[in-house]
Amino acid sequence: MSIIDSLLYHWNVNILSHSLLRLNIWLRAEISRASWKSKYLAPPLKISWLNKDLVTRHWLRGHYANQRHKVAWVTSGAPTELLKALDYFIVYPENHAAICGTARVAVDIMSVAEEAGYSQDICSYARTDFGTLLSGKTPVGKLPRPDLLLACTNICQTVLFWYRVLARHFNIPLIVIDTPFVYHSEATEHALQFVLRQLEQAIPVAEQVAGKSLQERKLKEVGRLSKMATELWLEIIERNQHQPAPISVIDQFIQMAPIVEMRGDAETVDFYAAMLKEVDERIANGIGAVKGEKKRLLWDNLPIWYRLRYLAEFLGENGVAIVASTYTNAWGELARYYDVERGLESLALACIYVILNRSTGHKLKTMQRMIEEYHLDGVILHSDRSCKPYSIGQMDQRDRLIREFEKPALLLEADHNDFRCFAEQQVANRLAAFVEMLER
Amino acid sequence: MAEVRALGIDVGSTTAKIVGIDDDGRIIWHVLEQADPQVGKQVEKFLELAREVTPILSVPIEGEREIGVPLIATGYGRKLVHQATRTVTEITCHARGVFRELGHGGTLVDIGGQDSKVIGISPKGEVVDFSMNDKCAAGTGRFLENTANRLGVHLDRLGEVTLSTVEEVSISSTCTVFAESEVISLIAHGVATEPILKGLHRSLIKRVVAMIRTVGLRPPLMLSGGVVRNPAIPQILQEETGEEVIIPRHPQLMGALGAALIALELVE
């Protein structure tokens, strides 16, 4: 990197974002909080602007990342710590796709992929990613070109094919970590060893692309930060066992961006420490995410990114708060597996015990535990057309929630990123009928 | 005529209904019409009619909030009834209406013009679970309407023609559009109208039975909605479930009745 490039980078990423952008984001957040008029929902968390600042800076860094770092594109369940320790700049295409979803530009972008021949039956995250790849369209300015790809099959099999498309497109190495499915409560020793061997084999490939060697000290440091951030996140979401719940799951969907795309960074730990403090302040002051909380629900599956506000407002108006979610919990429940002293083994455990790599019975047990611990009145199961591994089993889970746990459960058909699969009228009708049923 | 104490209006996709009930929740007046796309105009007309039959009735005028006789709106167009005191979904209203009419819980199947629903009702009349058709007209009245048109059979004669034969051809499509193509193909192969119609009814009912399974059948099985006017529907539903099908006296008015009963609670 030349001196001019370096100066330009510092001006754009550090000076500009630390002053002008930061000020702009803070001011807008303060104005939004000051002019908050909702009769049903608490104003956004004070730390929301910090989240926005972190995410904006992340993508701003991404814009210039190719000049300073090797860049890796990874799946959300991948052992990113390995690459962080090698100083890679990490991009999560799924996270980028979710940003496109909330910005309501995803369908426009994925249409490009569909025109190129990718079927509408493929995951809408993958289609959004392919659309950006083919058109360059993105709300974050620009995605840095990857030098390495890391796909872990613990979230779905689609990533295997998705990342092969990326590898062919960019003509770069692809590391695949294949995680055997955990059918029973514990993974077999053989399965763990299988994942561990793959991680060992991934290191030289990642080192070669990075042009440097992995240092144990660095890996431990990143692992320590990952553990701290996931533990804080778990603490935050568990604070919702309190009644009224200080934050809704809709808030969690927004505030989870750093734990997904910036896990292993010191700033992420600071952010969640600040968030926990604010959540505790809300509890101390008796502030609930939904004013006059009457009913508490569980959300299963990915968010409907393009209708978060609608859901929050509709439910809030009826005194209904979504307070627990198997999805946001997925980024917290792995905290216990991170152990800096166990190195790669702890990464293998964190890979293999991801909720989507475990049985539908395990998910049912998680929901049952949440129903008790969070004092829930019902469950909304988002049947996500794009995420088959998450949606499979929901019909049976719904039946058992109703019959065995006597909790009303609603199956809501939609898609996490493709609003063409969201029938507004039908969804509104089902939600309204469900709320009336809860009130009986 | 007894005094109308509460009104319920059900704006469906195919028909619109208004029901007036007395102090005891009995239907003492009702109107049922084909749904007008201009919902506001039709609702205003309904309320004019209500004023005619009950001169002492003080129905709120659009834009004014004071309540004379309370009006609850339900159905697909409920949000467009600006005169309503409140809106309630058709799930809650149908359960309330049918429980009042029949006096017991069970499983209610309501087959409307563009939606079908199955509602599990507790012995106390509460909704315990429900299922609705999603993003698709399969299993609704529109499925039969479309294909009957294609076969040139008038809707009023659909049941009679269907039940006039013991023969039946299997229709594999549950999709309304694909079933129409399948019917065209069968006609082209010289298959008679009656067995095709019977197959179509079976196809619709099988879709409904799948929805019943989602909720879980808790007898007795009850049936409401405009499609009940077609006698082939209850008969085939009975065949497919093995359960006797109970039909309330005013099967098309259950939603509006339920809405009126909820409105009556506001008076009380």
What ipTM was reported for this prediction? 0.85
- Residue A193, chain B, CB below 8 Å: the answer is no
**Per-residue model confidence (pLDDT) at position B59:** 52
CA distance linking residue B107 with residue B95, whole number of Å: 9
CA distance linking residue A262 with residue A327, whole number of Å: 17
For residue B55, what pLDDT band results from cuts at 50, 70 and 90?
Answer: low
* B229 token code pair: 């006017």
- Burial of A218 from C-beta contacts in 10 A (0-12 / 13-18 / 19+): middle
Q: How many residues does chain B have?
A: 268
Inform me whether the pLDDT recorded for B53 exceeds 80: no
- Burial of A51 from C-beta contacts in 10 A (0-12 / 13-18 / 19+): buried
Rounded to a whole number of angstroms, the distance from the CA of B249 to the nearest CA of chain A is: 25
Rounded to a whole number of angstroms, the distance from the CA of B162 to the nearest CA of chain A is: 31
Rounded to a whole number of angstroms, the distance from the CA of A440 to the nearest CA of chain B is: 7
Among A246-255, A264-273, B62-71, the range scoring the smallest mean pLDDT is: B62-71
DSSP per-residue codes, A257-298 = HHHHHSTT-HHHHHHHHHHHHHHHHHHHTT--SBTT--EEEE
Rounded to a whole number of angstroms, the distance from the CA of B32 to the nearest CA of chain A is: 23
CA distance linking residue A6 with residue A29, whole number of Å: 31
Inform me whether the pLDDT recorded for B60 exceeds 60: no
**Mean pLDDT score across all residues of chain B:** 88
Q: Are B58 and B69 in contact (CB under 8 A)?
A: yes
Cα dihedral across residues A97, A99, A101, A103: positive or negative: negative
**Per-residue model confidence (pLDDT) at position B267:** 76
Rounded to a whole number of angstroms, the distance from the CA of A423 to the nearest CA of chain B is: 6
- Residue A439, chain B, CB below 8 Å: the answer is no
Q: Are A113 and A124 in contact (CB under 8 A)?
A: no
Q: Which among B91, B122, B133, B213 is the top mutation candidate for probing chain A, defined by the most A β-carbons within 10 Å of its own β-carbon?
A: B91
CA distance linking residue A351 with residue A337, whole number of Å: 9
Contact A432 B127 (CB under 8 A): no
Which tens digits make up the pLDDT trace of A151-194?
999 999 999 999 999 999 999 999 999 999 999 999 999 999 99
Overall number of domains in chain B: 1
Inform me whether the pLDDT recorded for B58 exceeds 60: no
- Taking residues B167-172, what's their average pLDDT? 86
Q: What is the dihedral of CA A9, A14, A17, A23, to 10 degrees?
A: -150
- Taking residues B29-46, what's their average pLDDT? 91
Which tens digits make up the pLDDT trace of B100-158?
999 999 999 999 877 889 999 999 999 999 998 776 766 788 888 888 888 888 888 89
- Give A402's contacts in chain B (Cβ within 8 Å): 129
The CA distances from residue B199 to A41, A72, A346, A394, B111, in Å, are 52, 57, 59, 31, 18
- Which residues are within 8 A (CB) of B202 and not within 5 positions of it... i.e. 6 or more apart? B168, B170, B171, B236, B240
Contact B129 A436 (CB under 8 A): no
The parent domain of residue B59 ranges over 6-93+253-267
Q: Is residue B202 part of a domain?
A: no
- Residue A440, chain B, CB below 8 Å: the answer is yes
Inform me whether the pLDDT recorded for B61 exceeds 60: no
**For position B40, which CATH number holds?**
3.30.420.40
Contact A402 B129 (CB under 8 A): yes
Q: Which among B135, B136, B213 is the top mutation candidate for probing chain A, defined by the most A β-carbons within 10 Å of its own β-carbon?
A: B135
For residue B65, what pLDDT band results from cuts at 50, 70 and 90?
Answer: very low
For residue A278, what pLDDT band results from cuts at 50, 70 and 90?
Answer: very high
**Per-residue model confidence (pLDDT) at position B182:** 87
- Taking residues B211-215, what's their average pLDDT? 92
Which tens digits make up the pLDDT trace of A10-41?
777 777 777 777 788 888 888 888 888 889 99
Q: Is residue B30 part of a domain?
A: yes
For residue A414, what pLDDT band results from cuts at 50, 70 and 90?
Answer: very high
Among A228-242, A351-365, B151-165, the range scoring the smallest mean pLDDT is: B151-165
Inform me whether the pLDDT recorded for A134 exceeds 50: yes
* A289 token code pair: 């995410």
For residue A383, what pLDDT band results from cuts at 50, 70 and 90?
Answer: very high
Contact B135 A426 (CB under 8 A): yes
What angle do helix axes A424-438 and A308-317 make, rounded to 10 degrees?
A: 30
- Give B134's contacts in chain A (Cβ within 8 Å): 413, 423, 426
Q: Is residue B155 part of a domain?
A: no
**A33: Cα within 13 Å, side-chain hemisphere:** 12
- Residue A217, chain B, CB below 8 Å: the answer is no
Task: Please count the other Cβ atoms lying within 10 Å of the Cβ belonging to residue B123.
Answer: 11
What number of C-beta contacts closer than 8 Å exist between A and B?
40
Whose structure tokens read 């594999």?
B172
**Mean pLDDT score across all residues of chain A:** 94
Interface of A with B in 310-369 (CB under 8 A): none
Buried b (16+ CB within 10 A) or exposed e, B240-259: ebebebbbbebbbbbbbbbb
Asked if omega into B37 is within 30° of 0 (cis), the reply is: no
Contact B89 A433 (CB under 8 A): yes
- Taking residues B197-210, what's their average pLDDT? 91
